[in-house]
Amino acid sequence: MKLTTDYSFILASESPRRKELFSRLAIPFEVQPAKIDEAVEGELTPEDMAISIAYKKTVPIVERNPNAIVIGADTIVHLGKEVLGKPTSKEQAKEYLKKLSGRTHHVVTGVSIHGAGTSIGFAESTLVKFYELTDEQIDAYVATGDSLDKAGAYGIQTMGVFLVEKIEGDYNNVVGLPISRLFQTLLTLEVIAFDKEWSK
C-alpha cells in the first residue's frame, strides 16, 4: 500500500510516540510542537476536553502555515469522573497507580485535523484494566522514571504494559494516536489517497 497527497502535513506534537505512529502513513510530514495553555473553560466531557485541547494545539501552527494540514492530539486518562493527567512528581504517580490498580479506566485521545479549509475533530476511547498491583510493584515501576511524562502515570508501549491485564479498543489510542481512525478520516476528507501508479 502506498499513499499520495498534494498537501503538506504538520504534526503539532513533540511526542516521539505520536511521531512514530504518524510516520506509518508513509507520507511526508514535519513536526512543529505547539506550546499552549491546556486549560479549558466550562465543564466538558473527557472526549470534548481532549478534542478542545487538540484543536488549541493546531491553531498557532495553522496561523504560521496556512497551506498545511495540521494534526493535533491530546490524550486523557479518566477513572470515573476523575481525570488523571501527567503526574508532577513520583509521589503523585504512585497515587495515580494505586487508584488504577485492579480497576478499569478510560483512555481518550482527541484528534484535530485543521488547516487548508479543513477543520474536524474526533475522540477515540479505549478501556484499560489494570492488574491488582502491590506497593512494591508500583514503587519499582515509578522508580524507572517512565511515569512522569505520561497521562495516567504509565506508558503501555513501555514497561507499563506489565501493569495492564486487558484492553478493549484501539491499542494505539492508548499509546497516544488512534492512527487507524485518523487514516480513515483523512481518506474520507480526500486529503490522502491510494497511489494508483504504485499498483502498476
Q: Which active-site residues does the annotation give?
A: 74
d(CA 106, CA 193): 32
**CB burial of residue 73 (10 Å; 0-12, 13-18, 19+):** buried
d(CA 58, CA 70): 6
d(CA 179, CA 184): 9
Kindly state the cell numbers that stand for 149: 511524562
Polymer length in residues for the chain: 200
Kindly state the cell numbers that stand for 121: 475533530
